[in-house]
Structure 1
Amino acid sequence: MHQCSLFILTLLCVSVKDISGSWEEWWTYDGISGPGFWGLINPQWSMCNKGRRQSPVNIEPDKLLFDPWLRDIQFDKHKVSGVLQNTGQSLVFRVEKDSKHQVNISGGPLSYRYQFEEIYFHYGMEDNRGSEHQIDHHTFPGEIQLYGFNKELYHNMSEAQHKSQGIVGISLMVQVGEPFNADFRLITSAFNKVTYRGASFPIKHLPLSSLLPNTQQYLTYEGSTTHPGCWETAVWIIFNKPIYISKQEMYALRQLMQGSQLTPKAPLGNNARPVQPLHHRTVRTNINFNKQGLQGSNNCPDMYRNMHYTAVESSDDLISVSASDPTLKMTSIEPPTNEETNSTTTSNPVAQGTQLAVQKR
């Protein structure tokens, strides 16, 4: 009986070891191994179910706080080389470890320099879904996330993802349209090379900074990685302009599969974690939504114009600022004039009576 018990215990240990070794391989975005079960699959991923600072989130207009001390985001101009891989859960680009030139990310809300490490591609099988973060409950066709680790305090991503201030996540919303970025094609042209799980393709001399949208406006908050184990060590930066991918490139992206060529399984798309509760976290921005025209002198009380977030048809901004006449109702929104755009004040950093809308195309 004693020998039988030892034999059963040995089998259990071997089984647990085998399962733990495959955890990274079989978590998914749906079913019994989907986001609702990540924290139960692996005890080390418990934050996925128990965390209070999880990502992604929906950006709510009444939670935005203008922070005049937020700086511009800085990216090194170095080119990077790495490997684009279909992991079965996502399409991921990882930079070469022995690269001579690494790209550092600094500025903005960051107190340290972060070394760029990888890119995750999240996208939907239809244009009305795909991004992980949402703007006023609006979902974009896709979202590209650039991850870096705190190189001043930690040695690598594996160490940093468990530590305070360990990770930065840069979020780029993706719209379907005609792109004007030849450098982005270094990645999109390789989509058909990584159709099946485990497939990889080398990408050389990628100028990371040129992939970014032409803006220094952004939103930022404290959150987590959006894949297991959901470590709450990430500073998120969401740029206020999207990047573009053509219909043909999006079609090629949607041909990627979760499985091998013999058993392709389901498409790789729809790989977005649901939005998580904000739990009273502050979402800061460097977008000065208090730009407004003032009448009278500073010595007298004034009737400030109501400021609104609104859709601007001629702009690519995710969040736009415009002013309306104070005598009009909140629903009567007009685009800003040049005079209104150029006048600024930072006397009250909290948005008053703001509402958020998404840029429509």
Structure 2
Amino acid sequence: MDIFGGLRVILFPAVFITCISEQAVKSAQQNPPKIHEGWWAYKEMVQGNFVPVPSFWGLVNSAWNLCSVGKRQSPVNIETAHMIFDPYLTSMKLNTGALKARGTMYNTGRHVSVRLDKEHLVNISGGPMMYSHRLEEIRLHFGSEDNQGSEHLLNGQAFSGEISESSNNFLNRLLNRDIITRVTYKNDAHLLTGLNIEEIYPETSSFITYDGSITIPPCFETVTWILMNKPVYVTRMQMHSLRLLSQNQPSQIFLSMSDNVRPIQPLINRCIRTNINFSMQSKDCPNNRVHKLQYRVNGWLQN
């Protein structure tokens, strides 16, 4: 499947991104994407060798020029006051076939990536989607500090994930010390079984959506982003474990995988839609305050 096309669902304002690709892309099935390909980085390498960081992605390879000149690039800053309510946005539906999935967790040097086995189909439909999409990859982005780590911003603020005493059940499994330490170094891999994909999604039907791009080279503008309107929680210890993952191999100097995010890109007249009706009092707007979203993250309140 082509991870460069289709849809991405971000569990926002947390840092865990689910990448979803189109259900039937025959060419990609015949030529599955390589996990570690590409000469690029999120931050400067300490070994002294030049590897292009985000500001250079579109300059060093003509096939990546959209990274510099594209008009629908991601991520973006979500200004809640400028969102448009779309009454035709339906609820999203997750179909796992009531089955547990199996997949492989990789340290790609840039992300912790979980790719499901091909025989385990997890489909998502509804929302802004015209047809069903298949879950392709779960990719983790996180910050070196608690006030950064999410690629998208909410009213100018970034998030590293909610620090709390309890966390998401799916992430409890993924970020267990016995599991996450299996992928400490680049190219490490670990097989996971009995995954309940339904557990990763927050219990909300509210979301924000816009048209954008993938946030890695070649920055193809073929993505529909869906930002769920509820945090996903991680514990302080789980964030610490993530920050101990290296983007290098054991023989190389340690360089934390944290801050694996692309900087914010211009919105350029794109429409940000939502299924949250601010004119009606509901569980999403308990005080009926127009365009007044709040998230409590790391001890401070985002208005």
TM-score by length of 1: 0.66
1:125 aligns with 2:144: yes
Counterpart position of 1:96: 117
Of 273, 286, 294, the residue aligned with 2:275 is 286
Cα distance in 1 for residues equivalent to 2:279 and 2:208: 15
Q: 1:323 Cα deviation (Å)?
A: 3.8
Of 80, 85, 95, the residue aligned with 1:61 is 80
Counterpart position of 1:183: 170
Q: 1:202 Cα deviation (Å)?
A: 0.8
- Note if contact 2:206-2:276 (Cα within 8 Å) is conserved in structure 1: yes
Cα distance in 2 for residues equivalent to 1:212 and 1:220: 16
- Note if contact 1:186-1:203 (Cα within 8 Å) is conserved in structure 2: no
Give deviations 1:278-330, integer Å, cap 9, x for gaps.
0010100011111269xxxxxxxxxxxxxxxxxxxxx9x7xx56346xxxxxx
* Gap change, CA 1:359 and 1:52, over 3 Å in 2: same
Q: Which sections of structure 1, spanning at least 5 residues, go unmatched? A: 1-20, 142-173, 294-314, 325-350
Of 21, 27, 30, the residue aligned with 2:43 is 30
Cα distance in 2 for residues equivalent to 1:211 and 1:358: 19
Corresponding residue SS for 1:33: coil
Cα distance in 1 for residues equivalent to 2:154 and 2:286: 15
- Note if contact 2:143-2:149 (Cα within 8 Å) is conserved in structure 1: yes
Q: Select the structure that is richer in helix.
A: 1
Corresponding residue SS for 1:259: coil
Counterpart position of 1:155: none
- Note if contact 1:136-1:356 (Cα within 8 Å) is conserved in structure 2: no
Map 1:125-144 onto structure 2 (within 5 A).
Answer: 125-141=144-160
Map 1:233-272 onto structure 2 (within 5 A).
Answer: 233-272=222-261
Larger Rg: 1 or 2? Answer: 1
Cα distance in 2 for residues equivalent to 1:250 and 1:187: 12
Q: How many residues align?
A: 255
Give deviations 1:249-301, integer Å, cap 9, x for gaps.
111111001111111341110101011110010100011111269xxxxxxxx
Cα distance in 2 for residues equivalent to 1:79 and 1:65: 37
Corresponding residue SS for 1:26: coil
Give deviations 1:99-150, integer Å, cap 9, x for gaps.
2x30011001100110110011100011011000111011111xxxxxxxxx
- Note if contact 1:196-1:264 (Cα within 8 Å) is conserved in structure 2: no
Give the counterpart letter for 1:185 in structure 2: N
Corresponding residue SS for 1:192: helix
Percent of residue pairs identical: 39
- Note if contact 2:243-2:256 (Cα within 8 Å) is conserved in structure 1: yes
- Note if contact 2:207-2:226 (Cα within 8 Å) is conserved in structure 1: yes
Q: 1:95 Cα deviation (Å)?
A: 1.3
Q: Which sections of structure 2, spanning at least 5 residues, go unmatched? A: 1-33, 45-50
Map 1:148-163 onto structure 2 (within 5 A).
Answer: none
Of 322, 332, 337, the residue aligned with 2:287 is 322
Cα distance in 1 for residues equivalent to 2:64 and 2:116: 25
